């Protein structure tokens, strides 16, 4: 069974909160770029914490030498794409930001929207937590996003002002597009349009891992060694005492986690039938969910939540899910942990830090951009020791750095070639080299 981590993070930024230089006759572009940090957040979907260990990854190794790497990062539960990426953008646990699944659904009409269609349901994303794009824009910065989950939505009447939303049936494995997208972000958005913050998403190797499985050449093309095994299916209709006639709405067949809304008066019956009904299925009433998962206190979550053990997925009437690799498991499972690298003038070099939670990345990004964060669940205190000076703030008048470099930090997803290009691109000289 292939276990895919939900996301990878990359950060690219200039020096922290540099003091403004004296006005001179230089162009406004030079003045603006001198006064503001530049931050690039990169996600490679599906890159597990240990995928660089059994293959040669010279560019990732160089990042570790020139910057900071974490042993791993713990993503939020539910460990799938949209919820985890929105946690990156908001610093909130999933039960607090409300993007509880890749799927949008309506329990009354029985309507469901798959991952791509759900990107355009504004009310699903705009649920009280502002992503960092909007916060940055409200504080005078320019933000952009390319293909990042949540990019298409409107938040309190505002959208990320420079954006590219992936078209339907987009081929995330097209390396030509990777190069074009990197050129667009670095050359056009950062240089020509002088953006301050950009998020960039690559959908591989997540799709290859789902489709072909851990031992396929398709997956090994993206990164080295995957764990092997077979997907095992838990079919609810085969559990004695359980009957779909007792269910008003279900969200099943999308991996190891399922949710059920029993008909009125049927909750206890459904719960008792499923509880203990399969040795590898954990059944919770919503309020009984382990507190450490932060996946119980939101009205969108259904009354009964099902979580399968690693190596198992939950199906309803028939085994509809044919993925050969999957994520969405408990975030304490090591195969769900994320990969992280960060490089830039404000970060220490050749430093390995202990694991931390993905929610902590948001306050770090706000610190790099010198903006006031929204309410969030992260703690800069947990990771500020990776900074050259943990005392840098907007008031650090004594430190002036006129060098606008691209700083890169990486969490847990694959998209290795695209990452190579970004790592080797300097915002100042605009020269890309490839290994």
Cis amide prior to 78 (ω within 30 degrees): yes
Calculate mean pLDDT across residues 187-203: 94
336 and 287 fall within a common domain: no
Report pLDDT for 220.
45
How many structural domains are present in the chain? 2
* DSSP label at residue 189: I
How many Å apart are CA 135 and CA 140, to the nearest integer?
9
Residues spanned by the domain of 317: 232-322
pLDDT confidence of 323, banded at 50, 70, 90?
low
Reduced to 3 states (helix: H, G, I; strand: E, B; else coil), residue 283 is strand
171 and 240 fall within a common domain: no
Judge contact between 91 and 356, C-beta under 8 A: no
Residues with active-site annotation: 81
Q: Is the pLDDT of residue 14 over 90?
A: no
Report pLDDT for 228.
43
Can you read off the two tokens belonging to residue 202?
């690559």
133 and 17 fall within a common domain: yes
Report pLDDT for 327.
72
CATH at residue 309: 3.30.1360.180
Report pLDDT for 324.
61
pLDDT confidence of 44, banded at 50, 70, 90?
confident
Can you read off the two tokens belonging to residue 404?
């606008």
Per the domain annotation, does 417 fall within a domain?
yes
305 and 337 fall within a common domain: no
Report pLDDT for 214.
38
Judge contact between 395 and 2, C-beta under 8 A: no
The residue among 36, 15, 16 whose CA lies nearest residue 393 is: 16
The pLDDT mean for the chain works out to 79
79 and 214 fall within a common domain: yes
Cis amide prior to 398 (ω within 30 degrees): no
Report pLDDT for 19.
27
Can you read off the two tokens belonging to residue 312?
């198992």
Report pLDDT for 390.
58
Per the domain annotation, does 181 fall within a domain?
yes
220 and 237 fall within a common domain: no
Least confident segment among 191-200, 230-239, 413-422:
413-422
Strand partners, 262: 247
Report pLDDT for 16.
38
Can you read off the two tokens belonging to residue 359?
């929610």
163 and 16 fall within a common domain: yes
Least confident segment among 15-24, 32-41, 277-286, 365-374:
15-24
Q: Is the pLDDT of residue 422 over 90?
A: no
Report pLDDT for 377.
98
The residue among 217, 102, 204 whose CA lies nearest residue 150 is: 102
pLDDT, tens digit (0-9, with 9 covering 90-100), for 100-135 = 999 999 999 999 999 999 999 999 999 999 999 999
210 and 252 fall within a common domain: no
Report pLDDT for 184.
97
Report pLDDT for 156.
97
287 and 206 fall within a common domain: no
Q: Is the pLDDT of residue 432 over 90?
A: no
pLDDT, tens digit (0-9, with 9 covering 90-100), for 137-192 = 999 999 999 999 999 999 999 999 999 999 998 887 788 898 999 999 999 999 99
Calculate mean pLDDT across residues 8-18: 46
How many Å apart are CA 335 and CA 4, to the nearest integer?
7
53 and 123 fall within a common domain: yes
How many Å apart are CA 349 and CA 364, to the nearest integer?
17
Calculate mean pLDDT across residues 320-324: 62
87 and 194 fall within a common domain: yes
Report pLDDT for 325.
67
95 and 184 fall within a common domain: yes
Residue with tokens 């570790």: 64
Calculate mean pLDDT across residues 37-59: 82
Residue with tokens 């990452």: 419
pLDDT, tens digit (0-9, with 9 covering 90-100), for 247-286 = 999 999 888 999 999 999 999 999 999 999 999 999 999 9
pLDDT, tens digit (0-9, with 9 covering 90-100), for 381-408 = 999 999 998 544 433 433 333 333 433 3
Last residue of a domain, one of 291, 322, 353: 322
């Amino acid at each position: 069974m292939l276990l895919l981590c939900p996301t990878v993070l990359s950060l690219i930024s200039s020096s922290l909160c540099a003091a403004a230089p004296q006005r001179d006759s230089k162009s406004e572009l030079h003045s603006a770029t001198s006064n503001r940090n530049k931050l690039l957040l990169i996600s490679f979907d599906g890159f597990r914490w240990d995928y660089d260990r059994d293959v040669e990854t010279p560019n990732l190794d160089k990042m570790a030498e020139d910057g900071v790497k974490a042993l791993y990062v713990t993503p939020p539960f539910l460990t799938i794409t949209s919820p985890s990426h929105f946690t990156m953008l908001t610093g909130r646990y999933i039960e607090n930001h409300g993007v509880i699944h890749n799927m949008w659904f309506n329990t009354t009409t029985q309507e469901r929207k798959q991952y791509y269609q759900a990107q355009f349901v504004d009310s699903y994303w705009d649920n009280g937590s502002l992503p960092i794009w909007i916060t940055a824009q409200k504080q005078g910065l320019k933000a952009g996003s390319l293909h990042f989950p949540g990019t298409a939505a409107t938040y309190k009447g505002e959208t990320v002002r420079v954006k590219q939303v992936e078209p339907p049936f987009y081929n995330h494995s097209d390396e030509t597009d990777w190069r074009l997208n990197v050129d667009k972000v670095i050359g056009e958005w950062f240089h020509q349009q002088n953006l301050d913050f950009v998020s960039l998403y690559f959908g591989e190797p997540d799709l290859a891992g789902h489709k072909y499985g851990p031992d396929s050449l398709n997956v090994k093309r993206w990164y080295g060694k995957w764990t092997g095994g077979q997907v095992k299916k838990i079919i609810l209709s085969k559990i004695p005492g359980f009957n779909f006639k007792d269910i008003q709405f279900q969200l099943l067949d999308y991996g190891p986690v399922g949710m059920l809304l029993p008909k009125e008066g049927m909750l206890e019956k459904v719960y008792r039938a499923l509880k203990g009904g399969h040795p590898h299925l954990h059944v919770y009433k919503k309020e009984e969910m382990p507190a450490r998962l932060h996946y119980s206190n939101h009205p969108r979550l259904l009354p009964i939540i099902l979580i399968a053990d690693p190596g198992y997925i939950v199906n309803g009437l028939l085994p509809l899910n044919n993925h050969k690799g999957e994520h969405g498991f408990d975030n304490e499972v090591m195969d769900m942990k994320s990969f992280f690298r960060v490089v830039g003038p404000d970060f220490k070099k050749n430093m390995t830090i202990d694991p931390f939670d993905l929610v902590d990345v948001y306050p770090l990004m706000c610190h790099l951009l010198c903006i006031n964060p929204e309410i969030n669940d992260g703690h800069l205190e947990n990771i500020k020791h990776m900074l050259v000076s943990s005392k840098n703030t907007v008031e650090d008048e004594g430190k002036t750095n006129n060098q606008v470099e691209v700083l890169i930090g990486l969490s847990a997803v694959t998209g290795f070639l695209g990452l190579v290009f970004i790592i080797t691109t300097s915002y100042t000289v605009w020269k890309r080299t490839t290994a």
